[in-house]
């Protein structure tokens, strides 16, 4: 025998949902009628007809507005947003420049997915001095409105500054060992990120952004950068031919790239993607560096050389323009850069030593 209880419950809930709306509509129409009649009588407190009609359309359209989100300009197929720069790679990955995305639309999409972003940064030895500015500017500009976990790797956990964090954002301090040479500190980032991606990050975040600490966020850096795998164009080589790239050119190294190959030169200071893809990248780079070390060779630009080799044969799904990695002190501010988003901090080496 068919049980009708659930059908009845559904009807009751439907009526309960419609009843308040019906009452509100009746009250609103009474208000409309009284306001229009008052206007005819010349009452000084009367609401004008245009205001009433506007309120009526707002009320009736509010439900649909919640479903469709904010209005935005229609993209025009025959009107490119930027014609002065390359906005698409040959493998159909977007290159992210100011003017190529609508951040409100993207924010809405990533909020619907309840996305959490991890930001890894290494503040080892005296480089912990840069951490306060890094975190303060990240709070102002990095993934604003989204859930963020800052993963600070340091050998000096007691020196990590207390920076006020916004809602849905937290800081995790993870202790790592230091090394005598900065090159070793840099190269071991790949090993550490690979390990934590497998053991921890995959349980806590959806995307990882891996950044250098001696930088600051100067302008918006948001979900427009997120993709399965992204790299950032090096500010010194985005205009150059591949023959000028400082790839590792010695065939003995695992980072070797021939002279007639290469798409772009990527900066090792800002890369990321999904946790799974970042794990693949960092594990591959670490294993390649271990093999190089066993063969008595070190790539010319260390982990950055191995990053470029990996991204050559595992194409990134997004490429960030030099807006996301810039040094204004060295390079000025060319007109092609509409915004400078993540920039180098001028270094006072004496202050760092002290």
Alpha-carbon distance 194 to 282, whole Å? 5
When comparing pLDDT for 15 and 195, which is higher? 195
Mean pLDDT (the chain, rounded): 85
106 and 174 within one domain? yes
- DSSP lists the bridge partners of residue 256 as 248
Q: Is 234 annotated as a binding residue?
A: yes
136 and 43 within one domain? no
Domain boundary among 17, 43, 63: 63
Task: Inform me whether the pLDDT recorded for 254 exceeds 60.
Answer: yes
Q: Is 28 annotated as a binding residue?
A: no
Alpha-carbon distance 123 to 331, whole Å? 25
112 and 59 within one domain? no
Helical spans, DSSP H, in the chain: 5-40, 49-68, 103-112, 131-141, 182-196, 202-204, 275-294, 302-313, 328-331, 349-353
Q: Is 304 considered catalytic here?
A: yes
pLDDT band at 2 (very low <50, low <70, confident <90, very high): very low
Task: Inform me whether the pLDDT recorded for 328 exceeds 50.
Answer: yes
Q: Specify the pTM.
A: 0.79
- For the segment 85-108, the average pLDDT, to the nearest whole number, is 97
What are the tens digits of pLDDT across the range 142-167? Answer: 999 999 999 999 999 999 999 999 99
238 and 122 within one domain? yes
Domain boundary among 63, 80, 113: 63
147 and 246 within one domain? yes
44 and 118 within one domain? no
Alpha-carbon distance 171 to 147, whole Å? 11
Alpha-carbon distance 103 to 80, whole Å? 17
175 and 53 within one domain? no
Q: Which of 98, 277, 304, 323 is catalytic?
A: 304
- Among 95, 297, 64, 110, CA closest to 187: 297
Structural domain containing residue 287: 95-353
Q: Is 123 annotated as a binding residue?
A: yes
Q: Is 213 annotated as a binding residue?
A: yes
For residue 118, is it within any domain? yes
- Among 215, 190, 207, CA closest to 324: 215
Q: Is 314 annotated as a binding residue?
A: no
3-state DSSP of 130-144: HHHHHHHHHHHHECC
Task: Inform me whether the pLDDT recorded for 194 exceeds 80.
Answer: yes
Task: Inform me whether the pLDDT recorded for 44 exceeds 50.
Answer: no
Q: Which residues contact 74 (CB under 8 A, 6 or more apart)?
A: none
Task: Inform me whether the pLDDT recorded for 209 exceeds 60.
Answer: yes
Percent of the chain with pLDDT over 70: 78
Contact 216, 137 (CB under 8 A): yes
pLDDT band at 39 (very low <50, low <70, confident <90, very high): very low
Task: Inform me whether the pLDDT recorded for 99 exceeds 90.
Answer: yes
Q: How many distinct structural domains can be found in the chain?
A: 2
Alpha-carbon distance 203 to 201, whole Å? 5
Separation in Å, CA 273 to CA 67, 197, 321: 30, 11, 16
Task: Inform me whether the pLDDT recorded for 76 exceeds 60.
Answer: yes
Is the backbone of residue 120 left (phi > 0), alpha (psi -120 to 50) or beta? beta
Separation in Å, CA 344 to CA 20, 311, 340: 57, 23, 10
127 and 59 within one domain? no
pLDDT band at 347 (very low <50, low <70, confident <90, very high): confident
Q: Is 300 annotated as a binding residue?
A: no
Domain boundary among 21, 42, 63: 63
Supply the CATH number for residue 103's domain: 3.90.550.10
- For the segment 220-240, the average pLDDT, to the nearest whole number, is 98
For residue 136, is it within any domain? yes
Q: Is 284 annotated as a binding residue?
A: no
């Amino acid at each position: 025998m068919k049980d009708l209880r659930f059908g009845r419950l559904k009807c009751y809930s439907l009526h309960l949902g419609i009843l308040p709306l019906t009452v509100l509509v009746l009250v609103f129409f009474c208000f409309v009628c009284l306001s229009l009649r008052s206007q005819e009588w010349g009452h000084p407190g009367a609401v004008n007809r245009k205001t009433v009609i506007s309120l009526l359309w707002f009320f009736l359209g509010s439900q649909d507005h919640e479903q469709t989100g904010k209005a935005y300009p229609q993209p025009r197929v025959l009107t490119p947003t930027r014609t002065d720069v390359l906005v698409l790679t040959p493998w159909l990955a977007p290159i992210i420049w100011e003017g190529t995305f609508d951040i409100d639309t993207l924010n809405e999409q990533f909020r619907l997915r309840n996305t959490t972003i991890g930001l890894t940064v290494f503040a080892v030895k005296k480089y912990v001095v840069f951490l306060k500015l890094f975190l303060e500017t990240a709070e102002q500009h990095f993934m604003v409105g989204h859930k963020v976990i800052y993963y600070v790797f340091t050998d000096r956990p007691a020196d990590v500054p207390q920076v006020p964090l916004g809602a849905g954002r937290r800081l995790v301090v993870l202790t790592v060992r230091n090394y005598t040479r900065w090159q070793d500190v840099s190269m071991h980032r790949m090993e550490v990120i690979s390990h934590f991606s497998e053991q921890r990050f995959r349980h806590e975040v959806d995307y990882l952004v891996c950044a250098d600490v001696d930088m600051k966020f100067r302008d918006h850096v948001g979900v427009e950068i997120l993709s399965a795998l992204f790299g950032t164009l090096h500010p010194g080589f985005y205009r150059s031919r591949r023959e000028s790239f400082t790839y590792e050119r010695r065939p003995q190294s695992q980072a070797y790239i021939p002279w007639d190959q290469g798409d772009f030169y990527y900066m090792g200071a800002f890369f990321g993607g999904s946790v799974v893809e970042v794990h693949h990248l960092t594990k591959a780079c670490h294993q390649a560096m271990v093999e190089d070390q066993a063969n008595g060779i070190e790539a010319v630009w260390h982990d950055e050389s191995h990053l470029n080799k990996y991204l050559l044969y595992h194409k990134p799904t997004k490429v960030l323009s030099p807006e996301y990695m810039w040094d204004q002190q060295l390079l000025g501010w060319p007109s092609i850069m509409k915004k400078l988003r993540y920039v180098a901090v001028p270094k006072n080496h004496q202050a760092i030593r002290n």
